[in-house]
């Protein structure tokens, strides 16, 4: 294994260590400004506040946030494209958009000050995992309307690191650049890095011999076992970065070198956890939906945005000394659960079950079909080249072990099919795990 430097401190990280009383008073001051701004400039927000008999003056303490109305994804769609903007276009210097699978994209906007906040949280994200000036960051998040590429880019430069804006895809070139330019860090989705790992030997690259020491992985759910697999096979340390376009993009939360769950940059993004059904706030330590409020966004303030991401917030101290609370890695969204024959299943549970068994990569895809009114679930799993060369008996045995593992974890009997390496389509960005053919 490669040597990793001890936990380092970078001055840009100072706000990560604010004494709690100071952090809380900063949050309140910023929240009050934000609510006023949204009230004055966003008709939908003002209308919802009035319906509740509220004015910005009613936000006196941080707890008052629970009285404020939620914002949901459909609000962005219904006011497409610019209806939630709180700044005139002359002050907006950047637009990004997230497409999603159905309907219109959602559009998000940034003023110069918003871009500065974004740069700040990305610098703090990189610093948190031990990167600094002198590091060479290969940024393989997609550049364009997706927030990943440009988001990570400017924070990397501001930190003084060398950023390679390679964007996603072209794995052969990724590996060549990684080797020839001596990249010390890579930013991409964990599923795409898995693909890089798999291609490396074929292109004569031994990742463990390269200077690469940190992976900044996010934009999609991944599991702890996936982290272990990635680290064992590449020799780098894999860190979880979380974010979403509606709030800013990547950099809402990031793991420190303790790798114990992402710290939320709470001085800019205020987190709450709510009960999925009732919408009531839950105490730290309980699982629910993450709700985020931007505390400094000018162009598009988001008040109590329901992310649909399921997690737990913890205020337990982290060994790194940061006072920022952490979230548990986000393994699922409230809207990616599928129900098969009455059993609720999340793709992350299938991933965990597959990873318990050796011999898979694990590239997998879940296909849902309906035959004569009965739901069926088929799980395609790619096996390694070595395993695929095994006897039919050995493959059947592996198939049985995998479906048993899924059944034990989810209670669901699935049709499991082992497929040859390279059969499941690779994504340069977010992996598409579930193909629901029932709706078609």
Per CB under 6 A, 94 contacts ligand DLL:
no
Closer by beta carbon to ligand DLL, 39 or else 305: 305
Per CB under 6 A, 118 contacts ligand DLL:
no
Rounded to whole angstroms, the Cα distance separating 289 from 211 reads 38
Rounded to whole angstroms, the Cα distance separating 12 from 125 reads 10
Closer by beta carbon to ligand DLL, 35 or else 164: 164
DSSP reduced 3-state for 241: strand
Per CB under 6 A, 221 contacts ligand DLL:
yes
Nearest distance from residue 437's CB to ligand DLL, in Å? 23
Dihedral (CA of 169, 171, 176, 181) sign: positive
309 close to 248: Cβ distance less than 8 angstroms: no
Per CB under 6 A, 324 contacts ligand DLL:
no
In eight-state DSSP terms, residue 426 is P
Rounded to whole angstroms, the Cα distance separating 395 from 418 reads 8
The two most distant CA atoms of the chain are separated, in Å, by 72
Q: Which residue in 46, 98, 225, 334 binds ligand DLL (CB under 6 A)?
A: 98
Which residues, including other chains, have CB under 8 Å from residue 32's CB and lie 6 or more apart?
A: 56, 59
Q: Which residue in 91, 220, 231, 375 binds ligand DLL (CB under 6 A)?
A: 220
Per CB under 6 A, 273 contacts ligand DLL:
no
Closer by beta carbon to ligand DLL, 23 or else 290: 290
Per CB under 6 A, 333 contacts ligand DLL:
yes
Per CB under 6 A, 218 contacts ligand DLL:
yes
Per CB under 6 A, 231 contacts ligand DLL:
no
Per CB under 6 A, 191 contacts ligand DLL:
no
What part of residues 411-440 is at the interface with ligand DLL (CB under 6 A)? none
Per CB under 6 A, 214 contacts ligand DLL:
no
Per CB under 6 A, 241 contacts ligand DLL:
yes
Cα separation of the two ends of the chain: 48
DSSP 89-110: GGGEEEEEEE--SSSSPEEEEE
Nearest distance from residue 374's CB to ligand DLL, in Å? 30
CA distances from 215 to 6, 137, 227, 318, 421 (A): 16, 9, 10, 21, 24
CA atoms within 13 A on the CB side of 414: 35
Per CB under 6 A, 288 contacts ligand DLL:
no
Per CB under 6 A, 307 contacts ligand DLL:
yes
The partner residues of 186 in beta bridges, in order of sequence, read 138, 215
- Residue 419 burial (CB count, 10 A): 15
Rounded to whole angstroms, the Cα distance separating 325 from 315 reads 5
**Encoding tokens for residue 195?**
């693909």
Nearest distance from residue 368's CB to ligand DLL, in Å? 20
- Residue 102 burial (CB count, 10 A): 6
Which stretch in 21-29, 74-82, 202-210, 214-222 sits in contact with ligand DLL by CB under 6 A?
214-222
Closer by beta carbon to ligand DLL, 59 or else 248: 248
Closer by beta carbon to ligand DLL, 130 or else 168: 168
Nearest distance from residue 197's CB to ligand DLL, in Å? 18
Which stretch in 12-20, 115-123, 216-224, 365-373 sits in contact with ligand DLL by CB under 6 A?
216-224
Query: Which is nearest to 280 in space by CA: 304, 252, 315, 262?
Result: 304
The residue number with the shortest CB distance to ligand DLL is 218
Per CB under 6 A, 35 contacts ligand DLL:
no
Per CB under 6 A, 330 contacts ligand DLL:
yes
Binding site for ligand DLL (CB under 6 A): 98, 141, 147-148, 218-221, 240-245, 249-250, 307, 309, 330, 333
């Amino acid at each position: 294994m490669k040597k990793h430097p001890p936990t380092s401190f970078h001055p840009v990280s100072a706000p990560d260590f604010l004494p709690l009383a100071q952090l809380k008073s900063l949050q309140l001051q910023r929240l009050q400004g934000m609510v006023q701004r949204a009230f004055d400039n966003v008709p939908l927000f003002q209308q919802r506040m009035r319906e509740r008999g509220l004015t910005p003056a009613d936000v006196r303490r941080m707890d008052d946030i629970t009285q404020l109305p939620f914002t949901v994804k459909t609000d962005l769609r219904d006011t497409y494209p610019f209806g939630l903007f709180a700044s005139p276009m002359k002050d907006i210097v950047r637009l990004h958009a997230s497409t999603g699978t159905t309907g219109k994209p959602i559009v998000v906007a940034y003023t110069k000050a918003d871009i500065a906040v974004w740069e700040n949280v990305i610098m703090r994200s990189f610093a948190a995992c031990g990167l600094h000036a002198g590091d060479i960051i290969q940024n393989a998040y997609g550049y364009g309307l997706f927030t990943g590429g440009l988001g990570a880019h400017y924070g990397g430069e501001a930190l003084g690191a060398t950023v390679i804006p390679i964007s996603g895809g072209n794995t052969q070139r990724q590996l060549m650049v990684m080797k020839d330019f001596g990249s010390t860090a890579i930013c991409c989705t964990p599923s795409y890095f898995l693909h890089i790992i798999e291609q490396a030997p074929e292109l004569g690259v031994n990742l463990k011999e390269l200077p690469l020491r940190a992976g900044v992985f996010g934009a999609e759910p991944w599991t702890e076992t996936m982290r272990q697999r990635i680290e064992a096979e590449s020799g780098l340390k894999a860190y979880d970065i979380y974010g979403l376009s509606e709030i800013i993009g990547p950099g809402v939360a990031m793991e420190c070198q303790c790798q114990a769950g992402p710290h939320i940059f709470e001085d800019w993004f205020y987190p709450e956890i709510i009960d999925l059904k009732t919408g009531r706030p839950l105490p730290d330590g309980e699982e629910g939906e993450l709700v985020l409020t931007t505390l400094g966004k000018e162009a598009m303030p988001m008040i109590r945005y329901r992310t649909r991401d399921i997690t737990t917030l913890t205020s337990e101290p982290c060994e790194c000394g940061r006072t920022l609370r952490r979230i548990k890695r986000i393994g699922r969204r409230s809207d990616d659960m599928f129900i098969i024959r009455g059993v609720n299943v999340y793709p992350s549970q299938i991933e965990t079950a597959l990873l318990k068994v050796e011999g898979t990569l694990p590239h997998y895809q879940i296909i849902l079909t309906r035959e004569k009114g009965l739901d069926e679930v088929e799980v395609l799993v790619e096996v390694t080249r070595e395993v695929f060369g095994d006897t039919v008996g050995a493959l059947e045995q592996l198939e049985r072990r995998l479906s048993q593992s899924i059944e034990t974890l989810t209670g669901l009997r699935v049709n499991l099919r082992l497929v040859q390496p390279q059969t499941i389509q690779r994504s340069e960005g977010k992996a598409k795990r579930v193909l629901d053919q029932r709706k078609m």
